[in-house]
Structure 1
């Protein structure tokens, strides 16, 4: 739906049949040619070939599953989460269970029935003698006589299946409430000191005297046998992430008995004090100073216009917009989340843990990818204080899909984009975030192909010019996880390539500034340092190039010394050669230095007309990085998927995930260990999965204030046809021009395939996009 501010678009059309023009590059348009063009059209409907097997479970399924697991006959002894404590059993999370590929293929490619859906249910079982977090699978759905509940163990290789120790589980509100009494007492004991040092005190989250904000970092455990919490403090406000206070407290919170929780110590001025008495002695001795006091003023860090910066000339005009002036050229089955565009077809799905996912991606009826899905979005920090030094975030831990919310039309997505809702289970209801996904076609900003031929004595300087229009269909969503807004963009190009791009904006998680610690980041405010960190995001691409019999071909560009008899005077000289071979075994690997290796997923049983194996190339885009640290205790085994640019494995139904959403608190003993997927299996002529990482080393800078800019914090990859076709996929595109100049007469002839060149003018009122409230079903 268009924003209410979009009034109309005016389309002027000039005839483009064969004609001479005094100026080849411009066209005169008369007022009489102008007509109104409506942009409110919906994407044409198309019926999906089959019902979406990967679609999320329905709102009714969510309600029924909730009732099913809470029924007394299940004997799970569950407490309503609203009333639960640490020592209760309660449902933490409901989501859609991943479907086994072998089941789905027999349905979408054959005559088998649609596989039944299952729900994924995570229960925190604090009431057991050995408290744990356990994942379950509930189904088949809809709930009926055949529905059962069983542990969801088979996808996890850490040794305990879907069960993890209590101390390694999610830090939810129940655990936070458990350590609050100790935190309150420990901070009350030093309230006079924090008041003197930072003009701030903490007496508990609900105490009116509290005027600083407590926030925690992770991980909270190493292997689930113990648990601690590092509390950092900030001044409250919209930009609190960039007003950190140089004061930390570390608590030991192992187990469910809160009476056994203890204070590990305080940290300030990069010094560690085990007790309040130790801190007080140092304070009274004048050993604690605040060299660069933090400011409570946050106006400098708000994302709004800054009048004192002035106004840029002509910025009172609306910026250029990408508009589908010819009407929507993609088709949509909303019910089945199925899309067709310029030869492309695919299904979409969504889960609260992983967000937007794509299935059965085909080009001109041939499958390229079975599944394309985000696996993890991680960040690891560096610094000389407890917050930055041990902070590792895995954003699936925070259910990244549940943070994808309303998009701003005309800014996040172009005016006229097709908006789709985001839905996900939330306890016994389904939350709806209106307009959380957008679909739109956009101009690529360059022709997909062009060439000018000949000049000689031609008065126009050419014999012919050819150009083919380039565009792509984008599926986009933005997930806001705490301080960062990740923009995920999937572009399906008319040449048959797919581009995956991620951008990061939002507030830095910053640190107090110390002039001798600039090796951890730049100063960005009065008392604020931008904490250097890595952003690494991992994807799964289950390629099925025409069939499931694929290989990962590596072509190395090597330099050799050789002689050629027609150049005897050169003797031996240096030359390039290509050496192509299929990778044999599962492995993690990196892009080659200087780009001197090409990686292609190929089907050696399928050849193009020239006898070459058909395939798709993995093309590195901008900022392809992997995690910098390989042996940090805070990410050692829980983040193996992040530690290389690429990986390839053989597909198995019991290996659907590269990471577990619960891994972050188990760095030494993860629930899912990506390194265990590599067990010397063949990837030559097999059903293979490619795992790839995008991201950026965030070298923080003052231009990260107020927020990091999407223009610079970006990473991408392209999957491009590599001998998949017999020729480039542009010959059947009508949006093209072939312009010929007669060398004798200078007459110019245009071939336009019947498509006229438009001139578009958009008239907008002052933007006032309406943000809809979130709903529940």
Structure 2
């Protein structure tokens, strides 16, 4: 056995696409007695959370107990097991964790108050009632005992009906879909000869051998809950079916629980609407219905796979550069409490099936910056002149966005050696687990956090240079919602700033191509058009800077006229100055033109220089809001999407910007964000900032096979603004000071006690045989 001393950079070049054998990495040991290690798979150092995580997911045992309680005859809900239920039964749709009221949490985490009680959120579809509804309930306190109650969850909704949503506006689950299948089968069977002739496709029912196309529907399915409709588009089946749309649509009226009363509203094809099969057949027989741009059944062109016909890039067979925590993990983790400490930062993590990942009690150097940071909605609205494109709005919380946490690929989605955590959420009477659904890792920022050089005169003959290492702890999750993989990344930087970033990759929800419809997007394949759409992702940032008394300060850069007595020849000329004001009341607002306004959440408490301590809200890449302000499909249920920013006073009754059921109620939402803005004073109050990230998706041929993360990205940063007396870099040891003698050319280094790490690796063979390019 040969023992060689190697630079750790060699480890990153080991040519394997799989996670290395753990025994290999266990043979990597520190070459010096510096307390560092190159075992990248070592667990992070442990810590103990100062308090229990009161925001955590309810346990599997709690889920089972809640399930049994609501099904107990004594509870009086008259529930049927969902496996056996029909539209006219009462059954549980899902169980989730109810947000814990902030007023109950603060006495506990900030003092000696009792730990707040936990509650389950239970959605029950009550189709068996005289007026069928979807009703939300709160069940608690947990764990279930004689004190536990089942009560309607009404107080967090402001739409006028509490936690109730009319049957027609409720989620279009599998039971509603199945109830409409007989009608869909009939109306498509009536024109099967036409669809076969047009595009060699027939839909004769989901299990019929003659069915060779797939049916897909969309939201919304109602406007105000009084009626319901179902819009169906068809695609060729396959791994890339989203890219294989067919120019044929069916719209059905599916109002109420009696499926015998459902009826056809009409067919759409060739940019025309036909109310009946007879009208469609007459147009077809007259030669007015054609398939001008036939869709291919071959989906290989749209697969995310190596395309041999594209050739090969030089040296691409080598493993790409990797990010490795070669000095050992510098963050601490309490796995049980989902609590993290890193370079002055500390925070708790929580997760729900409705919203996914959330952060609570985010502190820097012991001072709370944010009480809560959470994603509230991931929405998309399309444009086009086909029913699917023109009528589509998605609210992804409707699909329980947290249940789609993808298993992360180590070394590609997250660096090798990242802490990979499982995600769990309530499912039925128990819990479902997504392995490796969340990762934590520290990474180089890609730039120094600070750098400056001072030069001496030629008499001294030296140059001095200083550089401070930039790094951040990243928390990342990817949620696969239908055709898109949303990557959420939260970076906690060593300078005290927080960056929130979201990226989107996946298949376009495309449309059939028509040469006269390129105003809705370009042609991207033989019969496929990339449909124009907006992605808007709404977040909540509940700031608690030095307490709950904060204000939102606006500093405008104004152009003013001035004259200077020392330059009288210039007369009066333009100059810039700052004009600072404070927002008085709750409002929605947008980023200023040319970035000439700075928005800061501030405390009345001052730093050493007499300036209010605060955090600045800094726009990053692609900070947008919804393009369409008055669509009937987002009329009142999507107000939170329609501005860059909003600020409100925090209330326990307003924990969420949206209701997961809002998408089907655009004219009569269960939760109306516009009602948050009721003229309340927000000076020196507990404030929540709501902000939007997203992309106007100007579709392109480079969206084939999938949209690229490199282009579809949006971000925002929260950074200290006079919060401290000086920049937060003076206590960072990871820095280098270099003195360069310009006469001799020699360099002298000061490493501040943090030497470069090197590793000793025990290998089975001489290193020059394993890595022949290495010179020892």
Secondary structure, in 3 states, of the residue corresponding to 2:684? strand
What residue is the counterpart of 2:478 in the other structure?
A: 478
What residue is the counterpart of 2:623 in the other structure?
A: 624
1:746 Cα deviation from its structure 2 partner: 5.8
Cα gap change, 1:740 to 1:350, in 2 (>3 Å): same
Secondary structure, in 3 states, of the residue corresponding to 2:161? coil
Secondary structure, in 3 states, of the residue corresponding to 1:37? coil
1:546 Cα deviation from its structure 2 partner: 1.2
Q: Which runs of 5+ in 1 are unaligned?
A: 16-32, 766-777
What residue is the counterpart of 2:115 in the other structure?
A: 114
Secondary structure, in 3 states, of the residue corresponding to 2:172? coil
TM-score (norm 1): 0.94
What residue is the counterpart of 1:352 in the other structure?
A: 353
Cα gap change, 1:566 to 1:764, in 2 (>3 Å): farther
CA contact (8 A) 2:541 2:690 kept: yes
Secondary structure, in 3 states, of the residue corresponding to 1:350? strand
Runs of 4+ in 1 over 6 A off after TM superposition: 9-15, 759-765
CA contact (8 A) 1:9 1:36 kept: no
1:660 Cα deviation from its structure 2 partner: 0.6
- CA distance in 2 between counterparts of 1:444 and 1:220 reads 45
Q: CA RMSD in A?
A: 2.0
Cα gap change, 1:202 to 1:763, in 2 (>3 Å): farther
Q: Which moved more, 1:268-277 or 1:737-746?
A: 737-746
What residue is the counterpart of 2:146 in the other structure?
A: 145
The answer to whether residue 718 in structure 2 is matched with residue 719 in structure 1 is yes
CA contact (8 A) 2:441 2:474 kept: yes
Cα gap change, 1:278 to 1:745, in 2 (>3 Å): closer
Cα gap change, 1:312 to 1:744, in 2 (>3 Å): closer
- CA distance in 2 between counterparts of 1:418 and 1:686 reads 38
What residue is the counterpart of 2:93 in the other structure?
A: 92
1:110 Cα deviation from its structure 2 partner: 0.8
- CA distance in 1 between counterparts of 2:758 and 2:254 reads 66
- CA distance in 2 between counterparts of 1:513 and 1:244 reads 9
- CA distance in 2 between counterparts of 1:764 and 1:319 reads 22
The answer to whether residue 674 in structure 2 is matched with residue 675 in structure 1 is yes
- CA distance in 2 between counterparts of 1:524 and 1:744 reads 61
Cα gap change, 1:9 to 1:553, in 2 (>3 Å): farther
CA contact (8 A) 2:29 2:38 kept: no
- CA distance in 2 between counterparts of 1:217 and 1:285 reads 32
What residue is the counterpart of 2:491 in the other structure?
A: 491
Alignment of 1:453-472 (within 5 A): 453-454=454-455, 456-457=457-458, 463-472=463-472
What residue is the counterpart of 2:767 in the other structure?
A: none
CA contact (8 A) 1:187 1:203 kept: yes
Q: Which runs of 5+ in 2 are unaligned?
A: 1-17, 765-776
Cα gap change, 1:291 to 1:455, in 2 (>3 Å): farther
The answer to whether residue 524 in structure 2 is matched with residue 524 in structure 1 is yes
- CA distance in 2 between counterparts of 1:13 and 1:153 reads 58
CA deviations on 1:533-562 (whole Å, 9 max, x unpaired) are 000000000000010000000000000011
Cα gap change, 1:611 to 1:216, in 2 (>3 Å): same
What residue is the counterpart of 1:644 in the other structure?
A: 643
- CA distance in 1 between counterparts of 2:352 and 2:596 reads 38
- CA distance in 2 between counterparts of 1:676 and 1:203 reads 46
The answer to whether residue 616 in structure 2 is matched with residue 600 in structure 1 is no
Alignment of 1:317-328 (within 5 A): 317-328=318-329
What residue is the counterpart of 1:175 in the other structure?
A: 176
Alignment of 1:111-260 (within 5 A): 111-260=112-261
Secondary structure, in 3 states, of the residue corresponding to 1:259? helix
- CA distance in 2 between counterparts of 1:14 and 1:81 reads 60
- CA distance in 1 between counterparts of 2:447 and 2:29 reads 22
The answer to whether residue 2 in structure 2 is matched with residue 3 in structure 1 is no
What residue is the counterpart of 1:749 in the other structure?
A: 748
Secondary structure, in 3 states, of the residue corresponding to 1:321? coil
Alignment of 1:346-385 (within 5 A): 346-385=347-386
- CA distance in 2 between counterparts of 1:12 and 1:110 reads 44
CA contact (8 A) 1:612 1:723 kept: yes
What residue is the counterpart of 1:733 in the other structure?
A: 732
What residue is the counterpart of 1:27 in the other structure?
A: none
CA deviations on 1:283-318 (whole Å, 9 max, x unpaired) are 111101111100000000000111111110010110
CA contact (8 A) 1:405 1:422 kept: no
CA contact (8 A) 2:586 2:682 kept: yes
Secondary structure, in 3 states, of the residue corresponding to 2:42? coil
- CA distance in 2 between counterparts of 1:762 and 1:670 reads 62
Cα gap change, 1:764 to 1:338, in 2 (>3 Å): farther
What residue is the counterpart of 2:770 in the other structure?
A: none
- CA distance in 2 between counterparts of 1:459 and 1:321 reads 42
CA contact (8 A) 1:373 1:540 kept: yes
- CA distance in 1 between counterparts of 2:152 and 2:619 reads 40
1:498 Cα deviation from its structure 2 partner: 0.2
Cα gap change, 1:288 to 1:415, in 2 (>3 Å): same
1:11 Cα deviation from its structure 2 partner: 8.5
Cα gap change, 1:14 to 1:470, in 2 (>3 Å): farther
CA contact (8 A) 2:37 2:327 kept: no
CA contact (8 A) 1:223 1:665 kept: yes
CA contact (8 A) 1:8 1:763 kept: no
Alignment of 1:395-474 (within 5 A): 395-454=396-455, 456-457=457-458, 463-474=463-474
Cα gap change, 1:652 to 1:206, in 2 (>3 Å): same
Alignment of 1:283-298 (within 5 A): 283-298=284-299
CA deviations on 1:406-458 (whole Å, 9 max, x unpaired) are 11111111100001111000110100011100000011111001011115427
- CA distance in 2 between counterparts of 1:14 and 1:741 reads 29
Cα gap change, 1:233 to 1:454, in 2 (>3 Å): same
1:741 Cα deviation from its structure 2 partner: 3.4
Secondary structure, in 3 states, of the residue corresponding to 2:663? helix
- CA distance in 1 between counterparts of 2:327 and 2:38 reads 9
CA deviations on 1:702-729 (whole Å, 9 max, x unpaired) are 0000000000000000000000111110
CA deviations on 1:455-505 (whole Å, 9 max, x unpaired) are 542797x52100000010000000000000000000000000000000000
Secondary structure, in 3 states, of the residue corresponding to 1:196? helix
How many residue pairs align between the two structures?
Answer: 744
Cα gap change, 1:518 to 1:563, in 2 (>3 Å): same
- CA distance in 1 between counterparts of 2:127 and 2:762 reads 60
Secondary structure, in 3 states, of the residue corresponding to 1:684? coil
- CA distance in 1 between counterparts of 2:113 and 2:459 reads 65
CA contact (8 A) 1:554 1:599 kept: yes
Cα gap change, 1:145 to 1:597, in 2 (>3 Å): same
CA contact (8 A) 1:9 1:763 kept: no
What residue is the counterpart of 1:692 in the other structure?
A: 691
What residue is the counterpart of 1:769 in the other structure?
A: none
1:740 Cα deviation from its structure 2 partner: 2.1
- CA distance in 2 between counterparts of 1:382 and 1:665 reads 18
Cα gap change, 1:696 to 1:425, in 2 (>3 Å): same
1:405 Cα deviation from its structure 2 partner: 2.4
What residue is the counterpart of 1:71 in the other structure?
A: 72
CA deviations on 1:711-762 (whole Å, 9 max, x unpaired) are 0000000000000111110110010011123567665332111111246899
CA contact (8 A) 2:29 2:39 kept: no
- CA distance in 2 between counterparts of 1:543 and 1:628 reads 28
